[in-house]
Chain A
Amino acid sequence: DGGITQSPKYLFRKEGQNVTLSCEQNLNHDAMYWYRQDPGQGLRLIYYSQIVNDFQKGDIAEGYSVSREKKESFPLTVTSAQKNPTAFYLCASTQGQRENQPQHFGDGTRLSIL
Chain B
Amino acid sequence: AQSVSQHNHHVILSEAASLELGCNYSYGGTVNLFWYVQYPGQHLQLLLKYFSGDPLVKGIKGFEAEFIKSKFSFNLRKPSVQWSDTAEYFCAVARITDDYKLSFGAGTTVTVRA
Question: Which of A11-19, A71-79, A92-100 lies on the face that meets chain B?
Answer: A92-100
Is B32 touching A99 in the complex (CB atoms < 8 A)?
yes
Q: How many A-B residue pairs have CB under 8 A?
A: 53
- A35 (CB) vs chain B CBs: closest residue: B104
Question: Which of A20-28, A37-45, A60-68 lies on the face that meets chain B?
Answer: A37-45
Is A100 touching B104 in the complex (CB atoms < 8 A)?
no
For chain A, residues 35 to 62, give those with C-beta under 8 angstroms from any C-beta of chain B: 35, 40-45, 48, 50, 56, 58
A66 to B9, CA, bound (A): 32
CB within 8 A of B43: which of A43, A94, A100, A105?
A105
Is A41 touching B49 in the complex (CB atoms < 8 A)?
no
Asked whether any CB of chain B lies closer than 8 Å to the CB of A103, the reply is: yes
A43 to B44, CA, bound (A): 11
Is B44 touching A105 in the complex (CB atoms < 8 A)?
yes
Q: Encode B1-20 as 1/0 by CB contact (under 8 A) with A.
A: 00010100100000000000
Question: Can you report 13 A-B residue pairs in the complex whose CB atoms are below 8 A from each other?
Answer: A40-B106, A40-B107, A42-B90, A42-B104, A45-B101, A50-B99, A90-B43, A97-B99, A102-B49, A103-B102, A105-B45, A107-B42, A108-B43
B residues adjacent to A (C-beta < 8 A): 4, 6, 9, 32, 34, 36, 42-46, 49, 51, 90, 92, 96, 99-107
